[in-house]
Amino acid sequence: MKKLIILAGVTLSLLFAGCGEKQKETLSVIPVPLQVDLQKGTFRLNDQTWLWVDAPQQDRMRLEDYMAGSPLLLVSTLEEVEDNAVIIQQVDQLPGVTSPEGYVLTVTPKNVKIQATSGAGLFYGIQTLLQMVNDKNEVPVGTITDEPRFAYRGIMLDVSRHFFDLDFVKKQIDAVAYYKLNRLHMHLTDAAGWRIEIDKYPRLTEFAAWREFPTWKEWWNNGRKYKEEGEKDAYGGYYTKEDIRELVAYAQEHYITVIPEIEMPAHSEEVLTAYPELSCTHEPYKQADFCIGNEKTFEFLENVLTEVMELFPSEYIHIGGDEAGKASWKTCKLCQARMKKEGLKDVNELQSYLIHRIEVFLNAHGRKLLGWDEILEGGLAPNATVMSWRGTEGGIKAVKAGHRAIMTPGEFCYFDSYQDAPDSQPEAIGGYLPLSKVYSYNPIPESLSADEAKLIYGVQANLFAEYIPTPEHLEMMIYPRILALAEVGWSAPSRKDYTDFHARALKAVEELKASGYHPFDLKNEIGNRPGADKPITHLAIGKKVTYGPDAAYYPGYSAGGDSALVDGIVGGWTYGDKRWQGFIDKKRMDVTIDMETETEIHFIGADFMQVCGPEVFMPNEVIISVSNDGKEFTELKRIEHKVVKDDKVTFTNFAWEGDAKARYIRYQATSGEFGGFLFTDEIVVK
């Protein structure tokens, strides 16, 4: 497969300070380097420019091959050269650089020199050089000293929900390596399909890799059945062992480590239908969790992991560990016997038993265990690293216990959310995560001490693919948000500036398009929901709010508490922005506002949202009433609304308009037949 190398070029602001030599110049490089000292002048590349790589043989061959595929068209030589040359040189030490992935790039009128203490550092220096070359093949004179903030900078691709072939994954490696990411986490197994060949268990790819219906959504809503490979209308696929070897080698050429994820104990419906004896009930299509009381479960997992480790040389093996239902463990005789034998007090400790045991197995083979933050439940395995996705709490807890953590909270790092106005985008799982919010993330929580902060290993973007059925859609969800995450992971906070980054990202989007990618069209971004950019004013701002009996808001979606519905803060495109107040299931919303004095009122209204996937629905009835004594209320309007499920993210204002005088305003809303959440952001009174 032909390598795709994106050639960015350099943006120049030719401003000079007096007659000095220093040139104030803005580099269009992503991620922004640590130190940039540019001078007046340029080095011009031409068809006689030499390439000399002075590095250990494996790195030299990788870098020469990579440069041969670049647009620079350099003439490679084994002899030391100085004039009209690009010199790539590994050294024992480098002043001002503490990371092996750091580099110093020096440009003079006669040559370019990249120095680093490792092949990876040289590779990242090359990426900066490629982004600096302008359309005249010129590079500005000066020195760049650069190194990453975090050692781990990753992206997770979900190839289970929708399968993406080898060439497509390699294409993404080309791009993310260009922006200095160094980990590719492959979500290889889940209910929707097993995606890796395992010799000892052929049914995993003969059967568990194939399903009815081409999209996850159709499959999920229509019985969730699997099919035999080759059967009519069997959708799916898997990577052969040869595919994996090729992928791992290709990633290594780009200084990227591929981390495999084999889900356990949950998200395993496909395994437990192919091999039902590994579930608590031994029935296909009945279980998602492995039976931890069954020794055959551990025989299976260890056999699978043995074959996985033969293919992936990564330090870490990801074992999932998230969202286990655990229901069958409470009644399973084998699980209960295991708990009694091991002195486990609950099913959380039973899960921890599996995690500990698998970690011992991985450690014995020279590997480390990595898992989602649920692996903390019941006690964390001694040497495990936690990937914190349910916010930052899991990472903080792991670090304070002396473990490494990789920060990947959904609020900032889940790229399956909408990145612009939902009605302008293909269907997504929900949420709203624009480029600016990704860029704003700081992976080190303020609550950590300096020593604890050192255990934050890095940051990762996650792209689960339930609602992403095509390669083009997947790329739209990745780019340009991964560029923001790359800068979060690499660049010093003091070097970050969103206005400057946005300009560089606009340029990068056009370059990605020219290189055959399908990024989100950033220049036409709509932005957040109207009204969400600044506070609004109305008559009820700051007034006292009380909630009726059995009408309390859900603590996880308080939006700031009792005053949230009269604080002037309008919600954005997602209830996850902490501006929407939520009411769960059949509980009604029943809110009374004390206007303090009798007030002329002409409008009372509130917005609600509907996102059916996560069970967020419109109300089926709204009642708006007023009172002067707070006891006897006069109904102004009763609104009946039939709740209909759909695939959209929608917003509706339920309001009364007219003429009234009152001190107290009561706003009630009830859920319909589907239950779920009611979400509202502000009760506006005019």
Q: How far is CA 668 from CA 11, 52, 665, in A?
A: 56, 74, 10
Separation of alpha carbons 203 and 298, rounded Å = 18
| CB 185, CB 154: distance < 8 Å | yes
Active site (annotated) includes residue 500 = no
Q: What is the DSSP string of 665-681?
A: EEEEEE--TT--EEEEE
Strand stretches in 323-384, DSSP E: 368-372
**303: Cβ contacts below 8 Å, ≥ 6 apart:** 198, 200, 201
Residue 6 to residue 554: CA distance in whole angstroms: 47
Secondary structure element (H or E) that encloses residue 125, with its range: helix 119-132
Distances 341 to 266, 344, 350, 359, 360 between C-alpha atoms, Å? 23, 8, 11, 20, 19
- Give the C-alpha separation, 254 to 179, whole Å: 11
C-alpha 281/C-alpha 288 separation (Å) is: 11
Q: Which of 185, 187, 267, 356 is catalytic?
A: 267
Q: Examine residue 265 and say whether the peptide bond preceding it is cis (omega within 30 degrees of 0).
A: yes
Instruction: Give catalytic status of residue 323 as yes or no.
Output: yes
Q: Is residue 525 exposed (0-12), middle (13-18) or buried (19+ Cβ within 10 Å)? A: middle
| Cα gap 481→502, rounded to integer Å | 11
Cα–Cα distance, 102 to 124 (Å, whole number)? 8
Contact status, residue 672 vs residue 613, Cβ threshold 8 Å? no
Q: Which of 25, 138, 190, 487 is catalytic?
A: 190
Q: Which residues contact 78 (CB under 8 A, 6 or more apart)?
A: 52
Exposure of 92 by Cβ count < 10 A (0-12 exposed, 13-18 middle, 19+ buried)?
exposed
User: How large is the angle between the packed helices 295-311 and 347-364, nearest 10 degrees?
Assistant: 40
Q: 323, 346, 349, 525: which one is catalytic?
A: 323
DSSP 334: H
> How many C-beta atoms lie closer than 10 Å to residue 341's C-beta?
9
Return phi, psi of residue 682, to 5°: -165, 135
- Contacts by residues 445-449 (CB-CB < 8 Å, ≥ 24 positions apart): 445/392, 445/395, 445/396, 447/396, 448/396, 448/399, 448/400
Q: What is the chain's alpha carbon radius of gyration, rounded to the nearest angstrom? A: 28
Residue count of the chain, please give it: 686
- Residues near 459 by beta carbon (within 8 Å), at least 6 away in sequence: 150, 152, 153, 154, 406, 407, 408, 413, 441, 443, 485, 488, 489
Residue 410, SS3 per DSSP = helix
Strands across the sheet with 75-77, in order? 35-44, 138-146, 103-107, 111-116, 85-90, 50-54, 75-77
Q: Is 518 a catalytic residue?
A: no
Map tokens 């997947």 to a residue. 474
Q: What is the 3-state secondary structure (H, E, C) of 535-559?
A: CCCCCCCCCEEEECCCCCCCHHHCC
**Active-site residues: which are they?**
190, 267, 323
